[in-house]
Each structure stands twice: as C-alpha cells, then as structure tokens.
Copies of this chain bind each other. A is one copy, B any other.
Amino acid sequence: MNATITVTPGHFDTQETRAPSEREADLLARLPNLLHLAQQAPGWADILRGIDPASITSRAALAQLPVTRKSDFKEMQANLNPFGGLNCTSARELTRIFMSPGPIFDPQGRRADWAGFARALHALGARPGHLIQNCFSYHFTPGAFMVEAGAAKLGCTVLPAGSGQSEMQVTAMHRLRPEIYAGTPSFLKIILEHAQQMRLNVSSLQYALVSGEALPASLRQLLNDYGVRQVLQVYGLADVGCVAYESATDGVVNPGLVLNEDLLIEIVRPGTGDVLPDGEVGEVLVTSFNPDYPLLRFGTGDLSAVLPGQSSCGRTNVRLRGWLGRADQTTKVRGMFVQPQQVAEIVARHRQILKARLVVSGSVGNDDMVLHCEVAQPLSDGEIAQITGTMRDVSKLRGSVQSCAPGSLPNDGIVIEDSRDYG
C-alpha cells in the first residue's frame, strides 16, 4: 500500500471508496493480463482457445467469453487432476490444497489474505488486537483458512475452534474473551444458549461474521438480543474467497452485500452466458483476478441480483441482494432431464419470445409442462405450433405454450419452475 494514501475512517483502504467508474476502468484494464496469465494453464488455454487477450477490455467483450460452471468442476478435475488445469501455480507450490464435497479441489497460494476476507472482517469491526473465535471447520474445506488469512492481514489473533464441541466453545469464549465470532449463525446460537445454561459470561463477544447458511432476520435479532451487537453476513465461495459482504452504518445493517475488490461480477440468465440488466435475478458469474487460480466468467450456480444505488457505508462497489436460490434448475420430466440451457435454446430460436419460464406441474409420472412466454403481441396459433415443435426437438418432451405480457413473469431467476406435488 502506498504510504501517502489517506484511509477513510471505517474503511479498509481507499480502494473501497473510489469512484465506481475508476474501479470499473481499473478492472477492465487488467483483463488482458488476466487472460494472458490464464492461457498459460492448460484448462484455460482450452476454454479460451483462439481468444486474443488484448481484445478483452470491455464488459461487452467479456460477455463473449464462455461461462465455466462450478457444476462442471468435478468432471474437469477428474480429467485433469487436481484443478482441471485451471491453476496457474502448480499444486506443489501452493500453501494448501482443500477438498470440498464432490470432491472438488481448491488451491491456496502463498499471497497474504489470498481469499480477501480482510475487508469483510474490517467492515464487521475487526481491528488489530482483536481475538476471533473461528468456528468454521478447518478440516478439508477452506472457510476457516480464509478467515485466518484475513485475520493475519488485520493483525487479529485467532482461536482455531472449529465447528463442534459446544461446551469447550463456551469455556474458551468465557476464558479468552474474544470480540469476534466467525462461523455459521446457527452454531453461534447453540454456543450462546449453552453459555446461558452453564451460567458463564461471554459478553466479550460483540461481532459475528456469519456464513454457510441463511440468516433469517429473526435469528439475527436473537443473536443481537444475546448481546452480539453486530452480526454481518459474508458470501464466500471455496473457489473465489469472499465475493461480497454486509456492512453497517451506526450499528444498522445496510441493505445488500458489497462486492469485494478485485472481482468482476455479471448476472446472467440461468443456463446461458447472457448478461441481464441490473436488478434482474440470475446466476452470479465471477471473474476473479487471483493469480494462482484465475477464474473467467465462473458460474457459481447461485442466484442473485444487483441492488441499485450505493451503500450508505461509503463503499462504492456494486451490491448484491444476497443468495436467492440455486441457478441450476435442472429437473427430470417423464424420465428425461430438462435443463435451463434448453429453455434458453428455445427462446433463442424464436425472436418474438422476450423471456420464458417453463412450469412443470401435476405429479411425478403425470407431469404437465407449460412454457410461459413473455411476448409483445399474443402468439398466433401458428407461432404456438412452431414453438411447441421446437420444445419437442430440444427436450424430447411434449409440452404446451402460453403467451403472457412483457414483465408479467416474476423476477426470481427461475427458468424452470417445478411445482409438482411430491406428497
């Protein structure tokens, strides 16, 4: 960091508060180098074959690159062990290798704060000299080490506590008086309940960085009521690190999650690489500038949307609405898989369809499949017949087609709605 930079109080550095146009220009200008680096790795060389890095300097150019989906990692990694050839640092030059269920392997390089958790911790309130009781599991998966690296960057001390043994958690919290908890919100609730039963004072705990599961408003309130005054979420991925994090202003949680620095995000229609306008719900694609493990248009499989405007915390980066579901809506109809990509293919073949949603209803074995199409003018019988034919060609399944008005389908990222009765 340049010693002459003045850091806005309450922010990790001035990167967080720079003009959005400056950030955008900086990230786009770094794309050619990122692509050039990625093309050194055999997996990316294959995916990005024929692409001239120098030509990728705009959002529009980025949007032409193929999407590489998390759901394909298991097979890619099995073919090219262990990282599918997507790593630019060789496996044996890494600090650690992680394994998540699948199995999916993920690398940790030698860079400080490699997963970018320092900003999330700082936004939470973590400062040098704070103690963090780190209740993410340290075994196989990377979450705990992402917090560790962020803590080291900030000058915090860590109690590596892991995700079990609630009585030991209470004893440790009582004796060591951590200011900060990191882990799932439900496990924090269990610890605080145990502390109450054991009649041990754990009031040192002021901040909680939570992840790994949903945080209902009622649970956040419950944790606040136990005395943990600030409970903020981080959206982390094993492959990327911290994607986005919550912030607070004067103790009040701000809407949305602020995107981390050094990431480009796109929201696309599930099953495609087609970028959606700001505000529409779709799959989160991440482009990550991690030099050990660059990711270009990485399909996370998560649904979210960009929240318009800026956070009142002063951070100027884009905000995400949070996790809104799974993008991979593949389902089985009469024994055949139906995928979001197929819906996208049908739409692509009929230019009059603005947006479509396939609704599967009835009961399993007696499925009813209707493609609802947003169109400017109601479809004619001839058009309906053509689209029905395309549905059969693409999905090998019979279904019907219905017109609806532009904007009438819900903005929820759902391309295939499974409303069958499984009772």
Contacts and interface: CB of A to CB of B under 8 A. Distances in A.
A139 B164 contact: yes
A92 B130 contact: yes
Contacts of A129: 92-93
A116 B136 CA distance: 27
A129 to B, nearest CB: 4
A241 to B, nearest CB: 16
A158 interface: yes
A144 interface: yes
Interface stretch (A168-176, A230-238, A251-259, A406-414): A168-176
A99 B139 contact: no
A243 interface: no
A165 B152 contact: no
A145 interface: yes
A269 B230 CA distance: 54
Given A138-B138, A138-B144, A99 B171 contact: yes
A158 B93 contact: no
A161 interface: yes
A49 to B, nearest CB: 27
Interface in A62-86: 81-82
Interface in A140-161: 140, 144-145, 152, 157-161
A158 B92 contact: no
A7 interface: no
A18 to B, nearest CB: 32
Contact of A158 (B95, B105, B137): B95
A381 to B, nearest CB: 55
A96 B159 contact: yes
- Complex copy number for this chain: 2
Contacts of A145: 160
Contacts of A93: 129, 157
A82 B204 CA distance: 15
B96 A160 contact: yes
B105 A160 contact: no
A260 to B, nearest CB: 23
B175 A105 contact: yes
Contacts of A96: 157-160
A158 B95 CA distance: 6
A34 interface: no
Nearest to A101: B168
A176 B92 contact: no
Contact of A82 (B97, B168, B176): B176
A131 interface: yes
Contact of A152 (B95, B103, B130, B162): B95
A98 interface: yes
Nearest to A130: B92
A370 interface: no
A98 B99 CA distance: 24
B161 A131 contact: no
A91 interface: yes
A175 B139 contact: no
A25 interface: no
A105 B174 CA distance: 13
A94 interface: yes
Nearest to A171: B103
A84 to B, nearest CB: 12
Interface string A303-330: 0000000000000000000000000000
Contacts of A130: 92
13 contacts: A93-B157, A95-B157, A95-B158, A96-B158, A97-B131, A97-B157, A97-B159, A98-B159, A99-B171, A99-B176, A103-B172, A105-B175, A140-B159
Given A137-B162, A139-B161, 7 more contacts: A94-B157, A97-B158, A99-B168, A99-B172, A105-B175, A138-B139, A138-B160
